[in-house]
Structure 1
Amino acid sequence: MELSPPPKGLEAAYASLFTTGSLSFLHELISTFDEEMEQILQLRVSRKAHLDLSGDLPNFLESTAHIRADPDWRVLPVPTRLQKRHVDIGDMAPCDTQRFVRALQSPAQGIQVDFDDGNCPTFPNQIKGIHNVILAVNNQLPGVPHISQAPVLMLRPRAWNMVEHNMLVEGKEAPGPLFDFGLLMYHCGRTLLENQSGPFFYLSKVESLMESRLWNNIFVWTQQKLGLPLGCIKATVLIENVLATFEMEEILYELREHSAGLNCGIWDYSASFVNKFGYRRDFLLPDRSKYVNMEKRFLRSYLDLLVQTCHRRGALATGGMAALLLPQSQHADSYSKVLAAVERLKLLEINAGVDGFMVYDMNLIKPMQKLFERHSEGDNQLHQLRGDVSVTPEDLLSMPSGGVTLHGLKYNIAVGVLFINAWLSGKGHFFYRGQVEDSATAEISRSQVWQWIRHQARLEDDGRVVSRRLVTELTKELRTELGLFCRSGRSTQRLHTAADMFLEVVLKRHFPEFITSYLNLDHTFLSSHCLGEEEEEAEAAVEPSRGRSKL
């Protein structure tokens, strides 16, 4: 095993993470499951190739019909601390110590401790984030409640597509999710269990029952290796891919001893349609800012089916994250409008039967908890079996009608460029026009721009074709506009680099599967963090405090 040296200023945290015992555990964990993980990734490639070559569409599996038809099986009941999951804090990158502490002091039921969508996985960020979790679990963060009383930690390791460049195991870079999961379990698993507060996980980007089977095998192996009781690990699977929607019962079945339920979100899921079917004109996804929301047939069907599937099997169903940010002043004219907008969208999820959802803004926690209490009964809605729901493949694959607007095109370009800019500065999310943006919104943004160029979509505004030239011109305009707010030559250069990288992604002949994979493997990202970029440069010039855009 080879490990990079500690980043400057994190020597003590590094030494506490990478002990002889933890390194031995990581080596054995990764070497045990590396081959099976590679097979999973190859199966993804094979499945995508089959869809492209055959023109087939996904359907519920005939080979597992007996699992869906069996009315008797259930997941094991979740522990007491997971019975009530009304409001979790989302996009919580734990390397942000100040925000992490605030979250632990908050009245939220849980915290999505995010090493994935809302986090930029630089080596310093991973070390600092995992170390902060260890401090929280061991009650060593000042002013924070005991771990048994603080919001429950829902630990979210990186997805299968991510690698850890700073650790080589048997000559290969370590899988990002096993690096994160292994360190968290080794250092925190037993303490969380003894305090009846875990270990609980979110699993990102799962696409099939085979992938949930792999995670289950990892859980069983880890519990045996660490001397923990079977079934103590609980995991919520994020259904972020259209293919996974057709295997939700099977995913629960594979994890039935370790399941904490399924989660439903909007943007990664919508982007997966472009990922899997984007070459087909029939799956041209219209302007997300105008025509895509959870009330549309394909998304509402997905939400309803997820709730029905979970509750039928005794599992919890959770909704997505409210990205809107409340104005600082409750007396501002926009305060009530923003709050009403969040309440309307979250009430739709509550009425669909979800057992909880996430917010980014901690000022939304109490209003959303009150909303839940007004419109539901008890700690959860497992009694809502949704017998009224009957979802077909056609429902799940029905694209909403609508076109492309100039506003939507510009917005998608801005989110894509600014996400790359944030990533290059060591951050996994940023604020833009009153809401938080992360890799999920970056995925849908760059996916739509790529698809609109590919299918030569026309703007509703003036009939212009969304062409390479138009997107390039708009990106240059944005770069110039944002450049006015850059505070140094280095931040200006980084913004220019981000704009160039965005154009490279959306103009590629073949669709890059994940923007995070592209960024994580790109030489610009690697070199910038090998040089040890200073913390003050991590603040993008276009990232105003509390989410107010300077544009």
Structure 2
Amino acid sequence: MFGPPKAPKIKGIMHPRFDEILTPEALAFLAKLDGASAGRRADLLAARRERSKRIAGGEPVDFLAETASVREDAAWQVAAPAPGLEDRRCEITGPTSRKMSINALNSGARVWMADFEDATAPSWFNVVDGQLNLFDAIRGNLDFTDENGKEYKVGEKTPTIVVRPRGWRLCEKHLTIDGRPLPASLVDFGLFFFHNAQALIDAGAGPYFYLPKLESHLEARLWNDIFVQAQALLGIPQGTIRATVLIETLPAAFEMEEILYELRDHSSGLNAGRWDYIFSYIKTFANSGPEYVLPDRANVTMTTPMMRAYTELLVSTCHKRGAHAIGGMAAFVPNKADPQVTEQALAKVKADKEREAADGFDGSWVAHPGLVATCTAAFDAVLGDRPNQLDKQRPDVHVTAADIVNPGSTPGQVTLAGLRTNIAVALRYLTAWVSEQGAVAIDNLMEDAATVEISRTQVWQWLHYKTKLAEGLVVTRKLVDELIEHEVAELHAQAKDERAHRHVDEARDVFAEAALGDDLPGFFTPYAYVRYLIARPLQPTGPIGPDDLRMSERVPREHQPA
């Protein structure tokens, strides 16, 4: 298990201070993690694809019969809350760029989810620079001066840092072994853990993580084995790592208890990743018939029956096992120029967080420092001086598979405005993403990659089923192309230089690839990353096929599971 694998080769530019992160010792650590897990990861990703095909062929999505004993065993519990994670009533999320990191650390939230996943466009610079910023933050050395001379410094009281690595599906093309890219999740987890685990422990906390996009308890088991190995390699006590799993895929909603069980010694709860969950619902049933077509995404709220079933099951499951239940994102960005819009939006955020607190959630997410006070106040009203409400059981919750799937339960219609919004917001976000920005304020909302995923899967589904709009039009390729061209023209009109114009065209290409083909790609990010974000010498010049996207799954026989 701990043999001497080959050292990874660096294919990205070594910017200033990158050598502090990409040390020979850190790279050797990554190689050991990869050698023990790469084969299992490849098999699990293949299993995802096979299951998706079976569901498209009519296989029902349901709770697993083979793990019923885990759900029925009332004795087991997850580990007690770790230092710094007892009180999570308000968590702020955001990318690991220097300025955004300082803003998050000064936000007044209890936890900062430092995001290498949806809020970070994973260019080589962003990935390693993010590690440097976390390295400095943990050692009290993080500051920043912007182009106008404004200085940013971190205050004395800061949130507990929880890192979200990229998901299992993604690779890091700038670090390879024998030409095979390393799994991006291992790069993000491994570099952070290697450099900072002991420093965090010495400061009274620990190495804590959010795990994204899991689709099964077997994927959670792989993470748990990686945690065990990483702690053993660095001589850190087992159980020091803690991980909160985002339940943001439909398959994972049916395996919440099993996921907690697999990670029980390292678990710190579950999070209701609402936006990606909606995307996953659409993707899971994309080929299952028009009855699974959802209305405009603005209508898919947390009070719709299928979303209500999912969140109530999450709280019930977590508290049954002694785990934190963390609520979904509030993405509003306060607008100083429009106090009325801000007042109305804050009222909605307040109502959303009050509902979550009343339902039993122990805390929730916000995307902007201006929402921290609103979220905290909502949970203060329920928690008082208590750090959480783990003792609040939900024996009244009885959720069935039909409740979670519940096609047609979401009120509302598909409208021309909804179609236009999906196209416009996706293209605006993608234009920023290909220019290496992962968190983008659009129409007073902080958008990340989940926005594009929902938008482009809805457009694909509406096209696929020739959905009739409320106005009487049918969603056709001609109509969609006209709306795309209109939005692209608007973006070109706003472009200030040749680079900006190029990014608009790249965004249109990504959207076409992700939303307009005969088949629906699982995610937009693998194609967009390989085509536009990796170093230019590594970018393919011709068509991109599955082998280009899955090179990290081509694992030598010695790394395959026995």
TM over 0.5: yes
Q: Counterpart of 1:220?
A: 228
Q: Which amino acid aligns with 1:98?
A: K
Give the CA RMSD over aligned residues: 1.7
Matched, 1:121 2:122: yes
- 1:17 aligned residue: 21
CA 1:289 to 1:38, structure 2 compared with 1: closer, same or farther past 3 Å? closer
Match of 2:13 in 1: 7
2:273 aligned with 1:262: no
Q: Aligned pair in 2 of structure 1 residues 529, 315: CA closer, same or farther (>3 Å)? A: farther
CA distance in 2, matches of 1:467, 1:301: 33
Q: In the TM superposition, what are the counterparts of 1:154-233 in structure 2 within 5 Å?
A: 154-233=162-241
Task: Give SS of 2:182's match.
Answer: strand
Closer/same/farther in 2, CA of residues 231 and 283 from structure 1, 3 Å limit = farther
Q: Contact 1:307 / 1:317 at 8 angstroms: preserved in 2?
A: yes
Of the structure 1 ranges 491-500 and 362-371, higher mean CA displacement relative to structure 2 is found in 491-500
Aligned residue among 233, 247, 255 for 1:239: 247
Partner residue of 2:377 out of 366, 370, 384:
370
Aligned match of 1:335: 342
The residue identity in structure 2 corresponding to 1:362 is P
1:504 aligns with 2:509: no
Q: Shift of residue 490 of structure 1?
A: 2.2
Distance 1:180 1:502, change over 3 A: same
Counterpart amino acid of residue 511 in structure 2: F
Distance 1:6 1:282, change over 3 A: closer
Q: Distance in 2 between matches of 1:19 and 1:283?
A: 53
The 5-angstrom pairing of residues 37-76 of structure 1 reads 37-53=41-57, 55-76=58-79
Equivalent residue for 1:93, pick from 87, 95, 103:
95
Displacement of 1:528 after TM fit?
5.4
Quote the residue 1:514 is aligned against: 523
Cα distance in structure 2, aligned partners of 1:2 and 1:223: 21
* Aligned counterpart in structure 1 of residue 483 of structure 2, from 452, 467, 474: 474
Letter paired with 1:3: K
Q: Report Cα offsets for 1:394-427 as digits up to 9, x if no partner.
A: 1000132432101110111012212221111011
CA distance in 1, matches of 2:507, 2:113: 28
Distance 1:380 1:310 in 2: 12
- Which residue in the other structure is 1:490 paired with? 499
Structure 2 vs 1, CA of residues 517 and 60 (structure 1 numbering), >3 Å: closer, same or farther?
A: same
Contact 1:273 1:283 in 2 (8 A): no
1:24 aligned partner, one-letter code:
A
Residues of 1 paired with 2:505 and 2:266: CA distance?
Answer: 46
User: Distance in 2 between the 1:237 and 1:114 partners?
Assistant: 14
In 2, Cα distance between equivalents of 1:11 and 1:250: 44
Aligned residues: 521
Query: What is the aligned counterpart of 1:443 among 449, 453, 457?
Result: 453
Aligned residue in 2 for 1:133: 134
SS of corresponding position for 1:427: coil
On the 8 A contact 1:512/1:518 being kept in 2, the answer is no
Alpha-carbon separation, structure 1, partners of 2:68 and 2:210: 26
Q: Are positions 1:361 and 2:398 aligned together?
A: no
Offset of 1:367 from its aligned partner? 2.2
Q: Larger relative CO (CA 8 A, sep 6+): 1 or 2?
A: 2
CA–CA distance in structure 1, aligned partners of residues 206 and 293 of structure 2 = 39
Counterpart in 2 of 1:540? Answer: none
Measured at CA, do residues 20 and 527 of structure 1 come closer, stay the same or move farther in structure 2, by a change above 3 Å?
closer
Distance in 1 separating the partners of 2:514 and 2:12: 32
Q: 1:230: how far off?
A: 0.5
- How far is 1:39 from its partner? 1.0
The TM-score with structure 2 as length reference comes to: 0.90
Name which of structure 1's ranges 235-244 and 136-145 shifts more when overlaid on structure 2: 136-145
- Cα distance in 1 for partners of 2:298, 2:119 equals 24
Once the two structures are superposed, residues 149-175 of structure 1 have per-residue CA deviations (whole angstroms, 9 ceiling, x without a partner) of 520001000001110000112431000
**Helix, strand or coil: the match of 1:375?**
helix
Distance in 2 (CA, whole Å) between partners of 1:527 and 1:226 is 32
Shift of 1:332: 1.9
For residue 456 of structure 2, what is the amino acid of its counterpart? R
Question: In structure 2, how many angstroms separate the alpha carbons of the residues matched to 1:291 and 1:18?
Answer: 45
Kindly report which structure 2 residues correspond to 1:380-395, keeping only aligned pairs within 5 A, or say none: 380-395=388-403
Counterpart in the other structure of 2:82: 79
Q: Which letter maps to 1:424? A: V
Q: CA deviation at 1:459?
A: 0.8
1:288 is matched with 296
Maintained 8 Å contact 1:264/1:320: yes
Counterpart amino acid of residue 404 in structure 1: V
User: What residue identity is the alignment partner of 1:216?
Assistant: N
Secondary structure of 2:534's counterpart equals helix
Cα separation, 2, equivalents of 1:155 and 1:527: 25
Give 1:24 deviation, angstroms: 1.1
1:82 maps to amino acid: L
CA distance in 2, matches of 1:78, 1:515: 35
Q: What SS does the aligned partner of 2:421 have?
A: helix
Q: Deviations over 1:86-118 (max 9, x none)?
A: 11111x211x21121122122110111000010
**Secondary structure of the residue that 1:484 maps to in structure 2?**
helix
SS at match of 2:438: coil
Counterpart in the other structure of 1:541 = none
| 1:5 Cα deviation after fit | 5.3
Is the 8 Å Cα contact of residues 106 and 362 (structure 1) preserved in structure 2? yes
| Local SS of the residue matching 2:205 | coil
The answer to whether the aligner puts 1:275 opposite 2:277 as a matched pair is no
Report sequence identity in percent.
36
2:42 matches 1:33: no
Once the two structures are superposed, residues 325-349 of structure 1 have per-residue CA deviations (whole angstroms, 9 ceiling, x without a partner) of: 11226x8222211110111122221
* Unaligned stretches of 5+ residues in structure 1: 532-551
How far is the alpha carbon of 1:2 from its aligned partner?
4.4
What CA deviation, in whole Å up to 9, does each residue of 1:326-376 have, x standing for no partner? 1226x8222211110111122221121111111111011112211211233
For 2:498, the aligned partner's letter is G
Q: State the AA in 2 paired with 1:495.
A: V
Deviations 1:189-246 (A, max 9, x none): 1111122222100000000010000000000011111100000000000011111111
Change (3 A) 1:124 1:256: same
The answer to which of 270-279 and 122-131 deviates more is 270-279
Q: Tell me which stretches of 4 or more aligned residues in structure 1 moved more than 4 Å.
A: 527-531
Is 2:429 aligned against 1:422? no
1:483 match: secondary structure: helix
Distance 2:179 2:513 in 1: 31
Q: TM-score, normalised by structure 1?
A: 0.91
* Inter-partner Cα distance in structure 2 for 1:239 and 1:108: 22
> Which one of the candidate residues 379, 389, 407 is aligned to 2:387?
379
